[in-house]
Amino acid sequence: MASKNLTKASIESLAYNPDGPSRQVLWDGKVRGFGVRVTPEGGKQYVLLYRVSGRQRLMSLGRVEDFKTLEMARDKASDLLHGLRHDGIDPMAARERMADAESMAQLWSVYEREHLAHLAKNSRKAISSAWRQHVAPVVGSLKPAQVTKADAIRLHDQATAKGGKVIANRAVARLRAMLTWLYERNERQFPVGWRNPALGMAPPREPAHRDPRPRAAARAGVSSRG
């Protein structure tokens, strides 16, 4: 099929041609390799065609109706291509590795190798520390789809008891980021309509860090202006 900028209207009007080839895809003109495939039964799914190690691969990104907007699907394709070109991550291979994992703890090794490895050293250290000390004890034995908002709240409560509210807020943020990363690369691990349970949590306000010197100087009868 021809390549042009996909629109909601062009996708809705897309129909399978019984006289055409067995694989029928309407390709996007904005993101190379991104398109919509239509089946003989009329089903439609977003796909991504790319080449890795000299081999061409066609990856399903999900059914059209599973995405709220066309732009969300296009952005997902762009992110996967960016990971392939800049970090050498084969998105289908990553999906296959994640499909074999039984728990968040097993998926952590994939996340660590394919995402954290490309971050700055201090960021890797902070995220790994939060995982070991706070996140893993709460959700490590669960499958990604089994993690609930109650788990995120329990994570925050336990991390607060161990290290305070700032540490707890960051631990929840680490969980949220990992679940989002996993969903973007293998949404099949999650039910249709899944929503990140750590998304939208309103953590308690972190304590403000004020400079105590002006107040101390005032008590001492000394002007803060020097």
Among 155, 151, 145, CA closest to 182: 145
- State both tokens at 111: 């996340």
- Rounded to whole angstroms, the Cα distance separating 80 from 186 reads 11
With a CB cutoff of 8 Å and minimum separation 6, the contacts of 200 are none
Q: Where along the chain do the CATH 1.10.150.130 domains lie?
A: 98-189
What is the architecture of the domain spanning 98-189?
Orthogonal Bundle (1.10)
Per-residue model confidence as pLDDT tens for the chain (226 residues):
556 789 999 999 999 999 989 899 999 999 999 999 999 989 999 999 999 888 899 988 888 987 889 999 999 899 889 888 887 888 887 777 777 777 999 899 888 887 887 788 999 999 999 999 999 999 999 989 899 999 999 999 999 999 999 999 999 999 999 999 888 777 778 887 889 999 877 555 555 545 444 444 444 443 333 3
Q: Where along the chain do the CATH 3.30.160.390 domains lie?
A: 3-87
* Partner residues linked to 62 by β-bridges: 46
- Rounded to whole angstroms, the Cα distance separating 25 from 92 reads 19
pTM for this entry = 0.57
Q: Pick one of 3.30.160.390, 1.10.3720.10, 1.20.1260.10, 3.40.50.2300 as the CATH number of 3-87.
A: 3.30.160.390
